[in-house]
Structure 1
Amino acid sequence: MSSLKAEDFIERSPLYPLHQGARLATLGSSAIVARYGEQEEHAQLQDCALIDLSNLPRAGFRGADAAAYLQARGYALPPAPNQALRQSDGSLVARLSQAEYLLLGSLHDMGARIAAEEAAWRLDDSANYLLPRQDSHAWLLLSGQHCAEVMAKLCGVDLRPQAFPSGAVAQTSAARINVIVINLGDEHLPCLQILCDRASVTYFWEAMLDAMQEFGGRPVGIDALLD
């Protein structure tokens, strides 16, 4: 695994220049950071950690028939906009409006189910339209007990658990760019899924790390989540 280089892959995270020296793992036709060093990173998750999930599959669906389509495909849907549900396989469904849904892949299958959904969609007479999100949005995960304190430095929305409970979705701005923030953490691991414009993610990553510095935060790889 240590011999893998991001340059060897056709698909790369927009953050790959910042991952120099990290140990990489293969995720389909792309690379993902497994860990940043030889030390175990799992404990860092509970404190303050940032993970680049930009190469994990995700997709969106919009239209009056999108809900029926997704339900027929076996997804449980949130009952109202700005809510999210974790699926039985670990993937996530966030409802962004009355008729728009965002699907985020699971590390359990390396996003295979969501990648298959995007590949299987076909335009037909139904009002259900695919919104490719792989190239439009980068995806970060912020974890640990200091999540809300970190985000308070960057975002005007109160993201403390009592105001932003598990299952909540906020479409807002952080560090002056548009973001989607999803809380699907639990008592074992507080975490926020954050999606932002792919072209701005290098700036946003650095802004996040700067905000995390006070709490000893640092980036970790996916091995920490899979341990």
Structure 2
Amino acid sequence: MTLHANQFAARSPLYRLQAGATLAHFGESCIVTTYGQGDESALLGHCALLDLTSLARYGLRGPAAADYLVALGYQLPQAPNQALSQADGSHVLRLSQTEYLLLGSLHDAGSKAQREESQWQASAGQYLLPRQDSHAWLVLTGTCQAEVMAKLCGVDLSPQAFAVGQVAQTSAARINVIIANLPLGEVPCLHILCDRASVHYFWGALLDAMQEFGGQPVGIDALP
């Protein structure tokens, strides 16, 4: 049976722009598996854009946030504006001395991150920052990613200046963004989190910047 985004209570704010794409169940939501534009996996290493907004994420802040996450089994970045991929495919971004952002894993459709958020226990020195409804999550892949972002962002995101594991909290296309350099397997990836209410505009700005390089949106079936 063909799935449609309006069958789900939770869906990406980009769902109207993804009409015609093939969808699959993804946790309690849905996600694009392919846009039907030929071999999308071939675009990954060059210039492609994924929408991971349906994947779970949450934040923690406070002097005890690090201890809370370590108790959950996470390895933490050593300094602010650094990120670390985990063995299970999730990612931890350290945004300040005491604030962390957890990005769920594609391997389990974000179920572990979603469960941790729902089971969060209040305690002195740390508090939860829900991010599912505040931030959208896009991933720009390929060797052209720095050139694409140079059209939208004043920060040098070239591999020489923005190494794997670095985080930039800046603006792109005149909106605030969080950018993390975290490959997916061997594929170069910039994970970009922006205001959910602005993602419709930002998606279009990215696709416009990608045109010069032949970039296109791809679904998760393109990933290794």
Please indicate the TM-score interval, normalised by the length of the shorter structure: over 0.9
Q: For the Cα contact (< 8 Å) 1:166–1:186, is it kept in 2?
A: no
Superposition pairs for residues 1-227 of structure 1, below 5 Å? 3-37=2-36, 39-124=38-123, 126-185=124-183, 188-225=186-223, 227=224
C-alpha distance in structure 2 between counterparts of 1:140 and 1:117, whole Å: 22
C-alpha distance in structure 2 between counterparts of 1:166 and 1:68, whole Å: 25
C-alpha distance in structure 1 between counterparts of 2:85 and 2:150, whole Å: 25
C-alpha distance in structure 1 between counterparts of 2:107 and 2:27, whole Å: 13
C-alpha distance in structure 2 between counterparts of 1:138 and 1:59, whole Å: 12
Q: Which amino acid aligns with 1:184?
A: L
Structure 1 residue 188, shift from structure 2 partner? 2.3
C-alpha distance in structure 1 between counterparts of 2:90 and 2:187, whole Å: 16
C-alpha distance in structure 2 between counterparts of 1:122 and 1:94, whole Å: 21
C-alpha distance in structure 1 between counterparts of 2:121 and 2:115, whole Å: 12
C-alpha distance in structure 1 between counterparts of 2:105 and 2:214, whole Å: 27
Please list the CA deviations of residues 203-225 of structure 1 after superposition, one character each: whole Å capped at 9, or x if unmatched: 00000000000000010000111
Please list the CA deviations of residues 146-176 of structure 1 after superposition, one character each: whole Å capped at 9, or x if unmatched: 0000000000000001100000000000000
Structure 1 residue 39, shift from structure 2 partner? 2.5
Q: Which amino acid aligns with 2:126?
A: N
Q: Secondary structure at the residue paired with 1:115?
A: helix
Please list the CA deviations of residues 93-150 of structure 1 after superposition, one character each: whole Å capped at 9, or x if unmatched: 00000000000011111111111110110223x2110000000000000001100000
C-alpha distance in structure 2 between counterparts of 1:163 and 1:155, whole Å: 14
C-alpha distance in structure 2 between counterparts of 1:167 and 1:38, whole Å: 31
Q: For the Cα contact (< 8 Å) 1:181–1:195, is it kept in 2?
A: yes
Please list the CA deviations of residues 185-214 of structure 1 after superposition, one character each: whole Å capped at 9, or x if unmatched: 278211100000000000000000000000
Q: Secondary structure at the residue paired with 1:212?
A: helix
Please list the CA deviations of residues 25-72 of structure 1 after superposition, one character each: whole Å capped at 9, or x if unmatched: 111121100000162311110110000000000000000100000001
Structure 1: gaps (5+ residues): none
Q: Which amino acid aligns with 1:20?
A: A
Q: Secondary structure at the residue paired with 2:197?
A: helix
Q: Which amino acid aligns with 1:32?
A: I
TM-score (norm 2): 0.98
C-alpha distance in structure 1 between counterparts of 2:159 and 2:113, whole Å: 28
Q: Identify the range of structure 1 (190-199 vs 33-42) with the bigger mean alpha-carbon deviation.
A: 33-42
TM-score (norm 1): 0.96
C-alpha distance in structure 1 between counterparts of 2:79 and 2:178, whole Å: 16
